[in-house]
C-alpha cells in the first residue's frame, strides 16, 4: 500500500514540476528542450540514436542527483545544452538505489535530453534482513556476475526494467562498466568473474528488459580499454547498441599515471573497439589540470576526434569537481570550467554543429 | 459539540461541583497497552527511517532538525510511558484529628471581591481548620474582611521572597500539622480537605496535590487556550506521575505536612516556588500523592498580556529549577523522579525548537540549503503512523480527565497559543542562562487591554517574513532560476513553501488573541458565565 500511495504522490509531484517548468519556459521565454531539439531534431527517436549521423555531446555533473544548478551553470558558461545527461546508480536497497531513478530521468527528459544511466551492480548493498535468499553481504561479491546470470537478482532487475519501460523514452544504459579492470569495481575479474560470466549476466539482464518491454533502452557496453583482452567481454552484436570507454587523464595524481593526451589514452584500444562496428561513446571525458595544459589537452582531443576517431559518435564530459573514487587525499577536480582556456576551447568546439 | 461545551460552562451548579477522574478499568489498561505498543513500534520505524546517512543534507541543519523533531517525539514517547503508569490513589476518608491551616496570600492591587469569595468559601470547607490571610496590602478593608470571615489576619509586610516568603513567615507563627496553600483566586469547595487529609495518615507523605481547575475558561480565547493547556496535565499526566511516585506540587492548592516543609528549611523560593519545593521534598525522601479531583476552581489569565507575563515567569522559573535545583537534587532522586523533573524542566524548550522549524523552510527558499534529502511524500508516509498513534493515545487517555464534559477535546487553541508564544519561552531560557531577573508578580486577575503592535510583533513578523519569502522564492524561480534547476526542485520548493505558510498559520492563535485584546470593544463579554458568587446554588 505504501508503494501505491508513494507512486500516486510521486506522479502528482511530477505534474506539479511539469507545470512549473512550463511556466518558467513562458516567463523566461526560453526552453532548454526547444534548444536541444533544434540542434538534434531526431533525438527522441531510438532508431536514430542507435546510429546517429552526428556527434552527440553529453555531460555528467558532480551536483547530481541533488541539484541541477551545476549543470545549468556549466551550460550557461558554455552557451550550450547537452543532448545526453549522464547519471550513476548503484544496485541495492538504499532509497537512492532501490528504484529506477524516475525523478531524475523524467527531469532530464523534460529538459529535452536523453539520460544515460551507468548501472553498477554493487550487490552487497542489498539488505540482509530483507533478502534472506541472498548470501551474507560480504560473501556476495565473489562471482557476483555468475549469480546475476543465474537469476539471483531478478527481483531487482525485473522491477527496475518495468520502471524503465514505463519511463518510455530512449535511455542509454551502461551496465557493469569497466568489468575487465581488476583494480576497480567488485564485478571485476579479481572476484572470480570470468568473461563468460559477464557475457551471461549481460544477456540475462538484457533478456529481462526485453521481457518487460523495456525496448526503449540503448545498451552501452563499456570496458576499460587500456586493459588487454577486453574484447573477450563483448556480449555480441545483437546484445549491444553502443560500445564505449572512459578517457580520463589522471595526470600526475597516481603512481600509474602521468600526463597523457586523449590520443595516447585511446590509440591502443580504439581499433579493437571500432572493429566491433557499433557507434563508440567516450563515456567519461576529461582531464585534471595539474601538471599540464588543460586547454591544449581539449584542443588536441577535439582535433583527434575529428580526424583519427571517426567512430566516436558521442562524448560525455565528466564534470565532477569532487571526485573521491580514487581515495586520493584531496578529491579530484575534473571540471573544465576551472581552466578559462579550456572553457573557451570547449565552448568553441560545441558551437560547431 | 460546540453547543455542548458552551452550555457545560453556563450552569454554576455544574461548574462548582466536586469532580473525580474515572477509575481505570482492566480492559482500558489492556487497550492502552496495545496502543502504546503499536505507537512505540511506529516511533522505532520512523527512527530507523530518519537516522540514515543518506538522509543527511546539510549536516548542521540536519542536526538542528533532528534535535527539534526528536525533542518533540521523545516527549510524546515519555508521555506514553507515563500514561502506562496511570494510577489513582485509593479513596480514603478523612481521619479526624489532623490540625489543618489554610494559607491564603494577598498582595497589593488584587481585587477585594476576590478575597470576599475565597474567604467565604474557605469558611465553608467542612473539615475543621483555621484559615489564615497572609496579608501585605496594608488595606484595612482586607483586614476587616478577614475578621468578618473568621480568618486569622497575619500582617506580613516587607518580607522578601514574595508569596513563599510570607508562607515561611506564617509557618513560624502557626502550629498546624497540615498546611493547604490556597491561591487567592481559587474558590475551594466544601469537600476540599475531606478529599486530601486522609492521605497524610501515611507518615511518609510530604504533600498532596489536587487538580487545578478554572471557572473562567470560556470567557475569552486566551482563557480557553490557557485552560486547555492544563487539562491533560491535571488529568492523565499527573495520574501517571502519581503511579511512578513523581507527582509534583505545581500550580496551586497543594497541601503540605509541616514537618516536611521544615525538613527542607521551609517553602522554596523562586519563580517556580512550587516546583522548587516539590523537588526538594522528593530529594529529602518524602512521598507525594496526586488526587485527580476538582475540589476548587480559580482563574486563568483572560488577556494575552497577562498570559504572556505568566508564561515568561513560569518558563524562567522552570529553567531555574532545571539549571540550579535539579543538579543538586539529582543523586537523591529516584530514576523516575529524575526523568520526571527533566521532562518538566524541558517543557518550554519549544522556545528553542519552534524557531528551528520556522527557519528551515525560509533558509531553503532563500539559499537552497536543505537539511535532509527526503521527499515530502516519503516523509509524510513515514511520519503518519507516529502522528496517528499520538492522536489516538491523546484522545484515549482523555477518559481520565478530571472533568471530561468540560475538558475533553482537541485542545487546538491551547496548542496554537503555545506555539505562538515560542518567543516568550525562548526569552525565559535566555533569561535563565543569563540569570536575568523576572519580577515576581501575581498573575493578573482582571482583564486588560494591550497594544496590538507590542503583543503581535513576533507572530506578525513571522507571518510577514514567511509570506514574503515564499512569494520571492516563487518569483525568483519563475523569472531567474534556470529551467533545469526549477524542474529538479519543484517538489522540495513546494514542500518548503507549504511548510513556511503552515508556520505562518500556526501564529494565528496568538495574532487573534492580540487583535481581540487590543480593543476593549472586541474583547468577549464575561457576564454570561457562571460566577462563583453562588458556589452552593446547586
Contact A229, A268 (CB under 8 A): no
Q: B497 CA to chain A: closest CA distance, Å?
A: 14
User: What does the pLDDT average to over A75-85?
Assistant: 96
Alpha carbon distance B194, B15 (integer Å): 19
Local structure of residue A332 (DSSP, 8 states): B
Nearest residue of chain B to residue A81 (CA atoms): B484
For A16-45, how does the pLDDT look when each residue is reduced to its tens digit (9 = 90+)?
A: 999 999 999 999 998 999 999 999 999 999
Distances, alpha carbon B432 to alpha carbons A49, B72, B187, B426, in Å:
69, 22, 33, 10
Split at pLDDT 50, 70, 90, the class of B212 is very high
Nearest residue of chain B to residue A105 (CA atoms): B488
Q: Which residues contact A294 (CB under 8 A, 6 or more apart)?
A: A287, A288, A336, A338, A339, A341, A342
**How many CB pairs (< 8 A) connect A and B?**
89
Give me the pLDDT at residue B521, please: 75
Contact B15, B530 (CB under 8 A): yes
Q: Say yes or no for a CB contact (<8 Å) between B488 and A68.
A: yes
Q: Say yes or no for a CB contact (<8 Å) between A68 and B478.
A: no
| Out of A2, A5, A20, closest to residue B486 by CB | A20
Q: Is the pLDDT of residue A317 over 50?
A: yes
Give me the pLDDT at residue B4, please: 56
CATH number at residue B105: 3.90.550.10
Alpha carbon distance B299, B222 (integer Å): 12
Contact B366, B319 (CB under 8 A): no
Mean pLDDT of chain B: 92
The answer to whether residue B186 is domain-embedded is yes
Q: Which helix (H) or strand (E) holds A141?
A: none
Q: A325 CA to chain B: closest CA distance, Å?
A: 17
Q: Which residues of A touch B378 (CB under 8 A)?
A: 6, 95
| Out of B57, B376, B483, closest to residue A111 by CB | B483
Give me the pLDDT at residue B525, please: 58
Give me the pLDDT at residue A4, please: 83
The parent domain of residue B183 ranges over 100-301
For B371-405, how does the pLDDT look when each residue is reduced to its tens digit (9 = 90+)?
A: 988 777 778 888 999 999 999 999 999 999 999 99
Q: How crowded is residue A332: how many other Cβ atoms within 10 Å of its Cβ?
A: 22
Give me the pLDDT at residue A329, please: 73
| Out of B375, B381, B488, closest to residue A5 by CB | B381
List residues in chain B touching A: CB distance below 8 A: 52, 54, 57, 368, 370, 373, 375-378, 380-381, 477-491, 494
Q: Say yes or no for a CB contact (<8 Å) between B377 and A5.
A: yes
Contact B488, A107 (CB under 8 A): yes
Split at pLDDT 50, 70, 90, the class of A74 is very high
Give me the pLDDT at residue A156, please: 98
Query: Within an 8 Å CB–CB cutoff, is residue A110 touching chain B?
Result: yes
Q: Say yes or no for a CB contact (<8 Å) between A24 and B486.
A: yes
CATH fold for domain A31-351: TIM Barrel (3.20.20)
Give me the pLDDT at residue B5, please: 63
Give me the pLDDT at residue B528, please: 43
Q: Strands A171-175 and A217-221: what pairing?
A: parallel
Give me the pLDDT at residue B1, please: 40
Question: Three cell numbers at A6?
Answer: 508513494
Tell me whether residue B259 is exposed, middle or buried, using C-beta atoms within 10 angstroms of its C-beta: 0 to 12, 13 to 18, 19 or more. Answer: exposed
Nearest residue of chain A to residue B52 (CA atoms): A94
Q: Which residues of A touch B494 (CB under 8 A)?
A: 13, 16
| Out of B52, B485, B491, closest to residue A13 by CB | B491
For A95-116, how does the pLDDT look when each residue is reduced to its tens digit (9 = 90+)?
A: 889 999 998 999 999 999 999 9
| Out of A6, A23, A110, closest to residue B478 by CB | A23
Contact A171, A164 (CB under 8 A): yes
Q: Is the pLDDT of residue B3 over 70?
A: no
Local structure of residue A169 (DSSP, 8 states): S
Q: Is B409 left (phi over 0), alpha (psi -120 to 50) or beta?
A: left
Give me the pLDDT at residue B450, please: 80
Alpha carbon distance B319, B271 (integer Å): 10
Question: Three cell numbers at B94?
Answer: 478523612
Local structure of residue B56 (DSSP, 8 states): B
Nearest residue of chain B to residue A103 (CA atoms): B488
| Out of B370, B480, B490, closest to residue A16 by CB | B490
**What is chain B's percent helix, strand, coil content, to nearest 5?**
60, 10, 30
Q: Taking the model in full, what pTM does it have?
A: 0.86
User: What does the pLDDT average to over B304-332?
Assistant: 95
Nearest residue of chain A to residue B378 (CA atoms): A6
Q: A24 CA to chain B: closest CA distance, Å?
A: 5
Bridge partners of residue B154, in order along the sequence = B134
Q: B383 CA to chain A: closest CA distance, Å?
A: 12
- Block residue for cell numbers 532538525: B65
Q: Which residues of B touch A24 (CB under 8 A)?
A: 477-478, 481, 483, 486
Q: Is the pLDDT of residue A353 over 80?
A: no
Mean pLDDT of chain A: 94
Query: Within an 8 Å CB–CB cutoff, is residue A7 touching chain B?
Result: no
Q: Which helix (H) or strand (E) holds B178?
A: strand B178-182
DSSP, collapsed to helix, strand or coil, labels residue A137 as helix
DSSP string, B200-235: GGSTTEEEEEE---BS-GGGSHHHHHHHHHHHHIII
Interface residue of A15, A16, A17, A125 to substitute, partner B, most B CBs within 10 Å: A17
| Out of A13, A28, A94, closest to residue B479 by CB | A28
The Cα angle at residue A192 between residues A189 and A195, in degrees rounded to 5: 55
Interface residue of A3, A4, A13 to substitute, partner B, most B CBs within 10 Å: A13
Q: Which residues of B touch A9 (CB under 8 A)?
A: 376-377, 380-381
The answer to whether residue B105 is domain-embedded is yes
Give me the pLDDT at residue A208, please: 98
DSSP, collapsed to helix, strand or coil, labels residue B523 as coil
Local structure of residue A185 (DSSP, 8 states): -
Q: A17 CA to chain B: closest CA distance, Å?
A: 5
User: What does the pLDDT average to over B115-134?
Assistant: 97
Q: A74 CA to chain B: closest CA distance, Å?
A: 11
Q: Which residues of B touch A18 (CB under 8 A)?
A: 487
Split at pLDDT 50, 70, 90, the class of B161 is confident
For B95-109, how does the pLDDT look when each residue is reduced to its tens digit (9 = 90+)?
A: 999 999 999 999 888
The answer to whether residue B446 is domain-embedded is no
Alpha carbon distance B87, B236 (integer Å): 9
Q: Is the pLDDT of residue B538 over 50?
A: no
Give me the pLDDT at residue B536, please: 39
Structural domains in chain B (count): 1
Q: Is the pLDDT of residue A64 over 70?
A: yes
Q: Which residues contact B48 (CB under 8 A, 6 or more apart)?
A: none
DSSP, collapsed to helix, strand or coil, labels residue A174 as strand
User: What does the pLDDT average to over B118-133?
Assistant: 97
Q: Say yes or no for a CB contact (<8 Å) between A95 and B376.
A: no
Local structure of residue B321 (DSSP, 8 states): I
Q: Is the pLDDT of residue B48 over 60?
A: yes
Q: Which residues of A touch B487 (CB under 8 A)?
A: 17-18, 20-21, 68, 107, 110-111
Q: B68 CA to chain A: closest CA distance, Å?
A: 24
Give me the pLDDT at residue B437, please: 82
Interface residue of B487, B493, B496, B497 to substitute, partner A, most A CBs within 10 Å: B487
Q: Is the pLDDT of residue A121 over 60?
A: yes
49-68 of A, contacting B, C-beta below 8 A: 66-68
For A227-270, how does the pLDDT look when each residue is reduced to its tens digit (9 = 90+)?
A: 888 999 999 999 999 999 999 999 988 888 899 999 999 999 99
Distances, alpha carbon B251 to alpha carbons B164, B182, B230, B263, B463, in Å:
13, 10, 10, 22, 33
How many percent of chain B have pLDDT more than 70? 95
For B64-100, how does the pLDDT look when each residue is reduced to its tens digit (9 = 90+)?
A: 999 999 999 999 999 999 999 999 999 999 999 999 9
User: What does the pLDDT average to over A297-321?
Assistant: 96
Q: Is the pLDDT of residue B527 over 70?
A: no
What's the ipTM? 0.86
For A127-178, how does the pLDDT look when each residue is reduced to its tens digit (9 = 90+)?
A: 999 999 999 999 999 999 999 999 999 999 999 999 999 999 999 999 999 9
Give me the pLDDT at residue B524, please: 67
Amino acid at each position: 500500500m505504501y508503494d501505491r500511495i508513494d507512486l500516486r504522490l510521486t506522479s502528482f509531484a511530477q505534474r506539479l514540476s511539469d507545470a512549473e517548468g512550463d511556466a518558467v519556459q513562458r516567463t523566461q521565454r526560453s526552453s532548454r528542450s526547444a534548444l536541444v531539439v533544434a540542434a538534434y531534431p531526431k533525438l527522441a527517436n531510438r532508431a536514430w540514436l542507435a546510429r546517429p549521423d552526428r556527434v552527440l555531446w553529453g555531460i555528467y555533473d558532480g551536483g547530481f542527483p541533488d541539484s541541477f544548478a551545476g549543470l545549468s551553470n556549466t551550460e550557461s558558461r558554455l552557451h550550450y545544452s547537452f543532448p545526453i545527461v549522464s547519471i550513476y546508480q548503484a544496485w541495492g536497497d538504499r532509497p537512492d538505489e532501490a528504484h529506477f531513478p524516475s525523478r531524475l530521468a523524467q527531469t532530464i527528459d523534460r529538459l529535452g535530453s536523453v539520460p544515460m544511466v551507468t548501472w553498477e551492480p554493487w550487490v552487497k548493498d542489498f539488505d540482509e534482513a530483507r533478502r534472506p535468499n541472498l548470501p551474507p553481504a560480504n560473501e556476495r561479491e565473489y562471482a557476483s556476475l555468475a549469480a546475476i546470470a543465474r537469476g539471483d537478482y531478478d527481483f531487482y532487475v525485473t522491477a527496475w526494467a518495468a520502471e524503465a519501460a514505463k519511463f518510455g523514452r530512449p535511455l542509454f544504459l551502461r551496465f557493469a562498466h569497466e568489468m575487465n579492470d581488476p583494480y576497480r569495481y567488485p564485478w571485476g575479474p579479481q572476484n572470480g568473474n570470468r568473461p563468460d560470466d559477464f557475457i551471461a549476466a549481460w544477456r540475462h539482464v538484457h533478456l529481462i528488459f526485453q521481457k518487460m518491454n523495456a525496448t526503449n533502452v540503448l545498451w552501452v557496453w563499456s570496458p576499460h580499454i587500456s586493459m588487454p583482452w577486453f574484447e573477450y567481454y563483448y556480449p555480441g552484436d545483437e546484445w549491444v547498441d553502443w560500445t564505449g570507454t572512459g578517457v580520463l587523464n589522471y595526470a600526475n595524481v597516481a603512481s600509474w599515471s602521468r600526463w597523457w593526451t586523449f590520443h595516447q589514452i585511446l590509440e591502443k584500444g580504439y581499433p579493437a573497439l571500432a572493429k566491433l562496428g557499433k557507434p563508440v561513446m567516450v563515456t567519461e571525458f576529461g582531464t585534471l589540470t595539474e601538471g599540464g595544459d588543460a586547454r591544449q589537452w581539449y584542443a588536441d582531443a577535439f582535433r583527434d576526434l575529428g580526424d583519427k576517431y571517426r567512430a566516436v559518435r558521442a562524448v560525455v564530459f565528466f564534470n565532477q569537481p569532487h571526485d573521491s573514487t580514487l581515495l586520493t587525499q584531496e578529491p579530484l577536480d575534473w571540471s573544465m570550467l576551472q581552466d578559462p582556456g579550456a572553457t573557451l576551447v570547449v565552448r568553441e568546439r560545441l558551437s560547431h554543429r | 459539540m460546540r453547543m455542548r461545551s458552551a452550555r457545560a460552562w453556563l450552569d454554576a451548579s455544574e461548574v462548582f461541583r466536586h469532580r473525580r477522574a474515572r477509575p481505570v478499568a482492566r480492559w482500558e489498561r489492556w487497550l492502552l497497552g496495545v496502543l502504546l505498543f503499536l505507537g512505540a513500534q511506529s516511533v522505532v520505524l520512523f527512527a530507523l527511517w530518519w537516522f540514515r546517512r543518506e538522509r543527511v543534507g546539510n549536516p548542521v541543519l540536519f542536526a538542528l532538525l533532528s534535535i527539534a523533531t526528536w525533542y518533540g517525539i521523545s516527549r510524546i514517547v515519555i508521555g506514553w510511558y507515563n500514561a502506562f503508569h496511570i494510577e489513582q490513589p485509593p479513596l480514603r476518608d478523612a481521619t479526624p484529628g489532623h490540625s489543618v491551616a489554610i494559607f491564603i496570600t494577598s498582595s497589593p492591587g488584587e481585587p477585594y471581591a476576590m478575597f470576599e469569595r475565597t474567604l467565604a468559601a474557605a469558611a465553608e470547607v467542612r473539615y475543621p481548620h483555621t484559615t489564615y490571610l497572609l496579608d501585605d496590602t496594608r488595606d484595612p478593608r482586607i483586614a476587616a474582611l478577614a475578621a468578618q470571615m473568621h480568618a486569622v489576619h497575619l500582617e506580613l509586610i516587607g518580607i522578601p521572597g514574595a508569596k513563599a516568603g510570607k508562607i515561611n513567615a506564617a509557618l513560624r507563627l502557626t502550629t498546624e500539622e497540615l498546611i493547604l496553600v490556597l491561591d487567592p483566586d481559587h474558590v475551594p469547595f466544601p469537600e476540599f480537605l475531606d478529599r486530601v487529609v486522609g492521605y497524610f495518615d501515611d507518615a511518609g507523605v510530604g504533600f498532596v496535590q489536587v487538580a487545578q481547575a478554572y471557572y473562567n475558561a470560556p470567557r475569552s480565547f486566551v482563557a480557553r487556550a490557557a485552560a486547555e493547556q492544563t487539562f491533560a496535565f491535571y488529568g492523565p499526566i499527573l495520574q501517571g506521575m502519581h503511579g511512578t511516585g513523581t507527582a509534583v506540587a505545581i500550580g496551586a492548592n497543594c497541601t503540605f505536612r509541616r514537618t516536611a516543609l521544615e525538613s527542607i528549611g521551609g517553602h522554596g523560593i523562586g519563580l517556580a516556588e512550587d516546583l522548587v519545593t516539590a523537588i526538594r521534598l522528593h530529594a529529602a525522601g518524602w512521598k507525594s500523592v496526586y488526587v485527580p479531583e476538582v475540589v476548587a476552581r480559580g482563574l486563568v489569565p483572560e488577556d494575552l498580556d497577562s498570559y504572556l507575563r505568566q508564561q515568561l515567569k513560569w518558563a524562567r522559573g522552570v529553567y531555574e529549577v532545571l539549571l540550579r535545583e535539579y543538579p543538586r537534587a539529582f543523586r537523591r532522586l529516584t530514576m523516575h523522579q529524575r526523568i520526571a523533573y527533566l521532562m518538566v524542566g524541558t517543557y518550554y524548550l519549544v522556545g528553542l525548537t519552534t524557531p528551528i522549524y520556522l527557519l528551515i523552510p525560509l533558509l531553503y527558499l532563500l539559499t537552497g540549503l536543505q537539511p535532509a534529502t527526503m521527499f515530502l511524500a516519503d516523509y509524510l508516509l513515514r511520519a503518519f503512523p507516529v502522528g496517528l498513534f499520538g492522536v489516538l493515545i491523546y484522545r484515549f487517555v482523555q477518559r481520565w480527565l478530571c472533568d471530561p464534559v468540560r475538558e475533553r477535546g482537541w485542545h487546538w487553541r491551547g496548542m496554537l497559543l503555545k506555539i505562538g508564544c515560542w518567543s516568550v519561552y525562548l526569552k525565559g531560557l535566555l533569561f535563565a542562562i543569563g540569570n536575568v531577573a523576572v519580577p515576581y508578580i501575581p498573575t493578573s486577575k482582571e482583564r486588560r487591554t494591550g497594544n496590538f503592535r507590542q503583543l503581535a510583533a513576533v507572530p506578525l513578523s513571522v507571518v510577514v517574513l514567511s509570506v514574503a519569502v515564499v512569494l520571492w522564492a516563487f518569483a525568483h524561480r519563475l523569472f531567474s532560476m534556470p529551467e533545469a534547476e526549477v524542474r529538479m526542485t519543484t517538489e522540495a520548493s513546494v514542500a518548503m513553501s507549504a511548510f513556511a505558510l503552515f508556520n505562518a498559520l500556526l501564529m494565528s492563535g496568538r495574532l487573534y488573541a492580540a487583535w481581540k485584546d487590543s480593543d476593549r470593544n472586541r474583547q468577549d463579554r464575561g457576564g454570561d458565565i457562571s460566577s462563583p458568587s453562588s458556589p452552593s446554588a446547586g
